[in-house]
Structures are given as structure tokens and as C-alpha cells.
A and B are shown apart, each in its own frame.
Chain A
Amino acid sequence: GQNIDQPTEMTATEGAIVQINCTYQTSGFNGLFWYQQHAGEAPTFLSYNVLDGLEEKGRFSSFLSRSKGYSYLLLKELQMKDSASYLCATVDSNYQLIWGAGTKLIIKP
């Protein structure tokens, strides 16, 4: 079967660093996406990993280990506007996206 696991909710402090984990089991693998979704809004693209390793993009970085079925999103220098849900999605053998339920990140001052 296909399964994506993320923590339901995390809390962090403004200015700190937070790591959001995603583990997956899917039929075939053609990459992994991270999206950000503010409450009441549409998901917006953050990152895409298809090879193992770390991809850095400003304050956000995404890591992938295909052998472990594991990814994480690292957010540095947290700002209040980073309060949102973070969605992990893998690309299966049919190039369809399989989505996790999302991690709600709460940033406290």
C-alpha cells in the first residue's frame, strides 16, 4: 500500500529552527514535494527532491533519503508568517502525487 506519515502538529519559537519529518512507503518513487499551506489558502510549492541529499533555498532546506523512505523540511530563523501547514507528497510510479495529511506548525513569539 501507499502511506505518507507526518506529525500532525508542531510548535516552535520565533527565531528558532524546526525540522518537519516525512516518512513514506509508495509504489514506485519519482520524487518528493514539500508545499506550504496557510489556513484557508491554497498549497504553494516549496521544494522538490528526487536525489538523495540536502537542497537549500534561503531559510528553507529539504532533505531526502530514498533508501530510508525519509525526508525532512528544515526551517531556519522562524518568522510568525511561517505558521502554516506543511504538506509532504511523493510522486508514485504513475506520476501521481500521494499526499500526507500535513503538519500544522505553530510559531510562538
Chain B
Amino acid sequence: TAGITQAPTSQILAAGRSMTLRCTQDMRHNAMYWYRQDLGLGLRLIHYSNTAGTTGKGEVPDGYSVSRANTDDFPLTLASAVPSQTSVYFCASSGTATDTQYFGPGTRLTVL
């Protein structure tokens, strides 16, 4: 099985533009997460979804939105990108909210 995939692998984006980072899992996991990882900082949770149809805000949700229309997909949208959103973005999933999280390969985003 593919597990969890993310697209694109990397992207350079002009400030003010919008972008959607895609995340798909084929493990039928209920819970999915979006993190950003910046040098010298731990992974920080942006948004999460404990089950299809529900979403919640994490530690750093401002400037980001998510949707969870089905079990497999959990896209992250930046409505109007700013340079401080330059980061590596990881999507993760777990069977339930209390289970081990498994990570996708990440998307490296640069906002200029």
C-alpha cells in the first residue's frame, strides 16, 4: 500500500498567492493532521481531523484552512501566502486520535 502521500514535493510560491497542499492516505485511518516543521522548533500542529466531516484547530492555525470531505483526503489551503509560511509541511494520520501517527513524506514550501 502507498500509505500516506503528499503533493507537491516542493513548491515556490509568490506572496499573496493561494495554494492547496494535498494529502491522501489509503490506510482507512480516521484521524489526520497537518504539521509544519521549522528549523530549531518542534513540529507544530496546524489543523487536525478526528474523523471525516470534522476538523479542529491546532497550535498555529492562522492563515490556513482544511476540509475533510472523506476518510482518505485532507487538503491544506493557504488563502494568501506570506513569507513566514515558508516551512516543511507534514501530513500524518492515525487509526484514531489516540493511536500512533504515521507521516507523509512532506512538502517543502518557499514563499517569496
Interface of A toward B, CB cutoff 8 Å: 4, 30, 33, 41-45, 48, 87, 89, 91, 95-102
Contact = CB atoms under 8 A, between A and B. Distances in A.
Contact of B43 (A30, A45, A99): A99
Contact of A99 (B44, B48, B97): B44
A97 B104 contact: no
Contacts, number: 40
B84 interface: no
Nearest to B38: A101
Interface of B: 40-45, 48, 58, 90, 97-98, 100-106
A91 B32 CA distance: 16
A42 B58 contact: no
A11 to B, nearest CB: 18
A30 B99 CA distance: 11
Contact of A42 (B40, B90, B97, B98): B90
A102 B45 contact: no
A97 B45 CA distance: 8
Contact of A44 (B40, B45, B48, B103): B103
A102 B48 contact: no
Contacts of B48: 96
A95 B45 CA distance: 12
